Structure 1
Amino acid sequence: MKTLVSNSVKGVTMKTIIDDGFAPWLVDGATFEDGYPIIEPLPETVPFPTKLIPVDKLNKVDSTNGFAHFYLADVRFRPFIANLPQRIDKLLQYDGVITPDFSIYRDAPEPVQIANVYRNRAVGSYMQRNGIPVITDVCWADEPSYKFCFKGAPRRNIISISTVGIMTKTEERVVFRKGLDKMMEILEPTRVVVNGEMPEEFIEQYQSTTVFKAYPCWTRMMKEAANGSR
């Protein structure tokens, strides 16, 4: 039997977010779209992030300028999420946060994919209601996931996606491109944060209505910084 870790928030004892029935306290006061917590649009006056900082590197950067993100292997950020109430004050020091990129593997059962989309929105909604500017990470698997993977994300607003680990694999590029087109159709974003590279041919048809801004992944950025300092 799994041992559950308990935390305390406002006098209420609870287990970890992963194990405690999807942590219903996360969505206390939230609004919903077909059962998915809604993340409210970010004001258009909020500029693009100056940089993206992985949550496991927050204690290793000198500046709090930028948005914290969860574009990491799930196992690396789950301890952070499991203690989210205790992390709020830390996150409030930054310009904002991109919602957790819980994995939606194509070979995962659909209920698991649905659960991870829900977690993304629930955590984002919780952070937003605690005063943190939030950009919604949007991801998808194959076509069957389109019926739920965009739920709860703001429409005609800023969102975030990641291409890291995708662009070198032909099959993954095809799946990504199809999902990107569906995302643009459904969410009609005005701005898109891209963690990683974005091929020009994927977005040229949208550039009259949407601004895309690509950021190098943290590993690449650190390598470039190290090479530049030599």
Structure 2
Amino acid sequence: MTEENYKYRTSDLFLRNQFNGVGKFDIPEIPKSNFSDDTLENLLLIGFDKINTDQSNYERMVHFFLYDYKFENIWKKPDEYVEKLKKYKAVLSPDFSMYIEMNKALQLYNTFRNRWCGAYLASKDIKVIPTVNWGDENTFEFCFDGIPKGSIVAVSTYMVREHNNHADQKDFFMKGYEEMLRRIEPSKIICYSEPFPEMQGDIIYVDYELSGWKYLNKESLDLPLHN
């Protein structure tokens, strides 16, 4: 084995084994981050796909509620984004897809990637909030692992609401949401897009439209922002 091959074979970014795992599948754990109530007031997000051109919205949190291809590089080359992400208030862990039609092995892999990226960014002194996602009930054995009880978590209702070509998937969403409440007992839940009336918990509603690209200019917002 050449030295080059040895370095590749033993590198942390190849093995992804630098964090202690929890649960049956050794999912990396994202440490809790603490925020004051003032920090979470009037909260807005910014998509990861906008951070390379953004120069003024550092009071927002970075989200990954995007098509996966727009943020694959946070998994492949995480170090390239650390300094940029440090400028923001916090980062939600990457929302790699958990479509119910996916092979279960891919759902498990995407849960691992979500938590590994979150743990990695946290190890670089970035405040990270776990994004929680699930498939059908068969994913419940792993999709909530790696999130300590009492954490602040993030979810999105946008893709499960009826709009455009999306059918209403509220029943599917609520099964996973209620299981999340039971297993994680989150202290607060950041909800990107309007919550369903049935959702319980201390929910922080984040307006989908105001977090979009049309409102990245602070002057276009009619609300106070907190640093």
Same fold flag (TM > 0.5): yes
Where does residue 4 of structure 1 map in the other structure? none
Q: CA RMSD in A?
A: 2.8
Does residue 76 in structure 1 map to residue 67 in structure 2?
no
Does residue 215 in structure 1 map to residue 206 in structure 2?
yes
**So what's the TM-score if we normalise by structure 2?**
0.80
Q: How many residues align?
A: 206
Where does residue 40 of structure 2 map in the other structure? 48
Q: How much does 1:21 deviate?
A: 9.9
Does residue 85 in structure 1 map to residue 73 in structure 2?
no
Q: How much does 1:171 deviate?
A: 5.4
Q: Quick check: 2:44–2:211 contact (8 Å CA) kept in 1?
A: no
Q: Quick check: 1:44–1:157 contact (8 Å CA) kept in 2?
A: no
Distance in 2 between the 1:71 and 1:170 partners? 18
Distance in 2 between the 1:58 and 1:202 partners? 34
Return the structure number with greater relative CO, CA threshold 8 A, min gap 6. 2
Moved more, 131-140 or 40-49: 40-49
After superposition, give the CA deviation of every residue in 1:46-95 in whole Å (9 maximum; x if it has no partner).
73273111011113432211111111100111134322112101111111
Among 131, 145, 152, the alignment partner of 2:146 is 152
Q: How much does 1:218 deviate?
A: 5.3
Q: Give unpaired runs (5+ residues) of structure 2.
A: 1-6, 222-227
After superposition, give the CA deviation of every residue in 1:102-145 in whole Å (9 maximum; x if it has no partner).
00110111111000000000110000011000000000011111
Q: Identify, as 1 or 2, the structure richer in strand.
A: 1
Distance in 1 between the 2:91 and 2:174 partners? 25
After superposition, give the CA deviation of every residue in 1:167-224 in whole Å (9 maximum; x if it has no partner).
115652110011111111111111001111112x222xx3xxx320121235874457
Where does residue 116 of structure 2 map in the other structure? 122
